[in-house]
Amino acid sequence: MSIPKKFTIAALGCRTNQYEGQAFREQLQAMGCVEAKEGEKADICIVNTCTVTEGADSSSRAAIRQFVREHEGAQVLVTGCFAERDPSSVLQIPGVTHLVSNKEKETLLAALFPDQELPEFSICQFEAHTRAFVKVQDGCNSFCSYCIIPYVRGRSRSRGVQEIVREVEGLIQQGFQEVVLTGINIGDFDGADPRNPVRLAELVAAIDSIPGLQRLRISSIDPDEVDEPLIEAILLGRRTCPSLHLVLQSGSNVILKRMNRKYTRHVFLESVARLRDRSPFFSFTTDVIVGFPGETEEDHQETLHVLEQVRFAKVHVFPYSDRPGTRASKMPGKISQEILRRRKNEILQTAERSAFLLRSFLVGHRVEVLTEGREAGNRWIYGHTPHFLQVGIESLNLLENQIVTVECIANTPSHLVGRIV
């Protein structure tokens, strides 16, 4: 009897990459391979790289080198956006045995198993997570001036609705309480049939009606893609969470135009108002790029003003990073590191104050929390409300992946404190 091959996987960056890493894991397991435990040598190493920033490039190179060093003699397969953008630098790393393009990613394992039929590239589990990310779309047609992703991921393309619904049904049967729809630009979702498109609102409604589903979230979406049908699908949904990751990037119309974003500050704030007018505690998370070329102090202040006005539950701040080949990389007016650091800190401080104020409205109220994890030996377990606000609960008995009702009894700089009722 042959000894099964062992594998290990590193998926860097976005939720789409995390989904793909899980799909690789399930393909390998279906083919009789087993995941290497910590400290064990793997025969197969897969690195799904990211190139969204210079830091992501560095992390991708480090992950490849670590696998080569720790798993001497293994088959090392490298794919993803960094490998797509800069294949020569990947191939220069000693020990890399296969470089696979994004276009061929779903059949990556054919390089190792050319005579076998590959299992379907989909998931029925999501290792080490209480919420499952489901990829519904890939690629992007927007070509923002700073972004390399359309060049390395390709044009927008979607999965079929029934294929997605079947996958979500399988995840629910495996006990997942929360499903997050993800993609590179899910506002472009068309159901894989451009001639007879199915819009994102219809997909949300179809998934929301699946028996056994407890929570449904929509990941990152642009404000100009939040139309009336999508608003109705979210607000009328049985299990769809009253929360969106609505991408801002900048509060300045001048900078938004230079970024080639398809909306203005007014459009962004109007999208927020349309949702909060009908659901007053509807919550938002967002992304902000700080230090875009040509960003003035006035532009920066306009971003801070939007953060104060909206009161986001969380703000992800990304210092501008030149991506070779993009229009922004050739723009004048690069911001010094000193100014960039100051502006980043001001955004983070403003975001933290705003989030604290948002959470404070829930003190004294009851909320449902999906428990997600605790640190080893810690008597506190943490999770999120449907509005994506973090809550800590003092309990040694609660397990992960439970939905419990708590009363919010205090607010801290990072999270609410809940007491089980």
Per-residue pLDDT, averaged over 120-132, amounts to: 87
Domain 244-360 = CATH 2.70.98.10: no
Which of the following CATH numbers is that of domain 122-241: 3.90.320.10, 3.20.20.20, 2.60.120.560, 3.30.750.210? 3.30.750.210
Which of the following CATH numbers is that of domain 6-111: 3.10.105.10, 2.60.40.10, 3.40.50.12160, 1.20.120.1200? 3.40.50.12160
Question: pTM value?
Answer: 0.93
Indicate if the pLDDT at residue 3 is higher than 90. no
Domain 366-420 = CATH 2.40.50: yes
C-alpha count within 13 angstroms, C-beta hemisphere, residue 381: 18
Q: Residue 313 carries which DSSP code? A: S
Domains of the chain, residue spans: 6-111, 122-241, 244-360, 366-420
Please tell me the predicted confidence (pLDDT) of residue 280.
95
Could you give the C-alpha distances from 245 to 14, 322, 328, 410, in angstroms and in order? 14, 24, 24, 25
Would you tell me how many other CB atoms lie within 10 Å of the CB of residue 402? Answer: 14
70-112: per-residue pLDDT in tens? 999 999 999 999 999 999 999 999 999 999 999 999 999 999 9
Q: Identify the CA nearest to 278 among candidates 228, 238, 327.
A: 228
**Who has greater pLDDT, 396 or 168?**
168
Q: DSSP letter string over 234-247? A: HHH-SSB-SEEEB-
